[in-house]
Amino acid sequence: MISIIVHSGEWDRIYHAFSMASTYSALGEKVSIFLTYWAIDTVVRDTAETGDERKDDIIKKAMDSGKMKSLGEMIELGKQFGNVEIVVCSGSLDILGYSENDLPEWVDRVGGLAEQLMTGEKVIFI
């Protein structure tokens, strides 16, 4: 299994982690995406804002034209192959003051870092 640990809250980094997961999934690999700290904050807020006006404009145009998918659409694409799981860090969720009810529907479960490190044959940190 490939474990992609996403700490960054930068939308474009999260997007590319999801893109990598979808690609690995299409290639038949089992993938777990572990969202922690600022990545959780970004997905809960469900915004494509990066904090950079130029990037935001490029992303908005790409999404409006259908050239780029939303985060949820990227994950659903990967999940179509049946081997992508989205896990949210329980400790980070608590520290940020969110509950499981705040999470997007495409999140599979809440879990811990140790599990990700122990089960991942390859670990990618973003």
Per-residue pLDDT of 35-65, as tens digits, reads: 999 999 999 988 777 778 898 888 889 888 9
What pLDDT score does 78 carry? 82
What pLDDT score does 4 carry? 96
Two tokens, residue 48? 């494509």
For the domain made up of 2-101, give the CATH fold.
Hypothetical Protein Ychn; Chain: A, (3.40.1260)
What pLDDT score does 11 carry? 86
What pLDDT score does 121 carry? 87
Tracing tokens 């939303």 back to the chain, one arrives at 70
What pLDDT score does 75 carry? 82
What pLDDT score does 85 carry? 95
What pLDDT score does 60 carry? 85
Positions in the chain short of pLDDT 50: none
CA 11, chain centre distance (Å): 9
Q: What are phi and psi of 111, to 5 degrees?
A: -155, -165
Q: What is d(CA 46, CA 71) in angstroms, rounded to the nearest whole number? A: 8
- H/E run at residue 112: none
What pLDDT score does 99 carry? 94
